[in-house]
Amino acid sequence: MLAASRLALIALAAIWGSNFLLVDVALGGSNPAQIVAARLWLGGAILLGVCVAMRRHLPRGWSIWARLLLMGILGQALPWMLFAWGQQNVSVSMAGIYNSVTPLASLPVVWLLLRQQGSRGEVVASVLGFGGIIVLMAPWGEESRSSLTGQLACLGGALCYAIAYAYAKHLISTLGYSKVALAASQAIVAGVLMLVVTAPQLVEPMNPSAAVVGSLIAMGVGTAVAFLLNYWLIGAVGPLQAGLAFYLMPLVAVALGIGVRGDVLYLHQILGAAVVFGALALQYAIDRRESLDVPVPEVAPDNVVELAKRRPAG
């Protein structure tokens, strides 16, 4: 991996991982609906500006916009709302750990929705990760019961991400528009829905301190920058290597939670997080090894000549 790719990978993990800290700060003067609306509108406006600069056309047709609305709900508005709401009772570190459940939840989601079997790495990691979630949540402990609803909200947000990724891969990717245009469109249409659904929460008074406003702006800008970085990184090093940012993101969240907010993790949370992180590392290692073991088909010289003959002139 080139130095530029490594820097992009680190930056992407840092942006995603710091969002949980920014949400925690923003909750000091705004509610979850206001946080999500700020991220959607500011991030969408920046991506829309990028579309104009790159001369990318927005999608047309009601059916396409309906798909983008569903994608905006599942991939942005709903999980962001669940995490922001859950973080009222869950620490920055725990929210970041629960977000890491997304790739582990992708296998059962894809199987239930699309009836597609996963790779060996996905199967092993999902089984281990499920056990880690149980240990992490520990509903039998007194300290966990007080934050159980917040933990379930964060877990629901991770499941929304998993559903959104499956939906994007098998439906949105076939629309034929640029990814920047699709991302801008789904953010804008999800932002419009937020105005309608959460209007009473959006008009509640805020405490616009410098820290709160700065966090909201940072999340909105980071949303757009992270998408562009991820888009470039996938093209530069491929989806498997680019996916490392998702695995590094919870480590950033935990480090910021402990270092900046003074989070304290109980023993069962440390053990559960270790199992979840271990499952993620195992999944990446197995998938990477299997991708390297895939043989490259060889083309016989006679076939090359035959293909050349069939190729149209010009």
> Amino acid identity, residue 71?
M
Cα–Cα distance, 58 to 46 (Å, whole number):
14
Residue 280 CA neighbour count, 13 Å, CB half: 25
- Looking at the predicted structure, is the pLDDT value of residue 92 above 80? yes
Alpha-helical segments (H) within the chain? 3-26, 32-54, 62-72, 78-86, 92-99, 102-114, 120-137, 142-145, 148-170, 179-197, 199-202, 210-237, 239-242, 244-260, 267-293, 301-310
Greater confidence (279 vs 221) lies with: 221
148 pLDDT more than 70: yes
pLDDT band, very low/low/confident/very high, at 137 (cuts 50, 70, 90) = confident
Sign of CA dihedral 81, 84, 87, 89: negative
* Mean of per-residue pLDDT scores for the chain: 81
What is the pLDDT at residue 292? Answer: 66
Any idea how long the chain is? 314
pLDDT band at 145 (very low <50, low <70, confident <90, very high): low
Q: Residue 61 carries which DSSP code?
A: S
Higher-pLDDT residue of 273, 146: 273
Give pLDDT, residue 314: 41
CA 84/CA 222 separation, integer angstroms? 16
**Residue 42: other Cβ atoms inside 10 A:** 21
Residue 228 burial (C-beta neighbours within 10 Å; 0-12, 13-18, 19+) = middle
132 in Cβ contact with 276 (< 8 Å): yes
Question: Shortest CA distance to 265 belongs to which of 121, 24, 92?
Answer: 92
Tokens in use for 68?
A: 């983008």
DSSP 175: S
* Position 297 pLDDT exceeds 60: no
Token pair for 133: 């979630």
Distance in angstroms (rounded) separating the CA atoms of residues 37 and 221? 13
Closest by alpha carbon to 283, among 158, 104, 89? 104
Task: Assess whether pLDDT exceeds 80 at residue 289.
Answer: no
**pLDDT > 70: percent of the chain:** 80
Is-contact 140 299, C-beta < 8 A?
no
Report the pLDDT averaged over residues 110-130.
67
Calculate mean pLDDT across residues 245-264.
89
Interatomic CA distance for residues 297 and 78, integer angstroms: 43
Residues 6+ apart with CB under 8 A from 26: 35, 212, 215, 216, 219
CA atoms within 13 A on the CB side of 219: 26
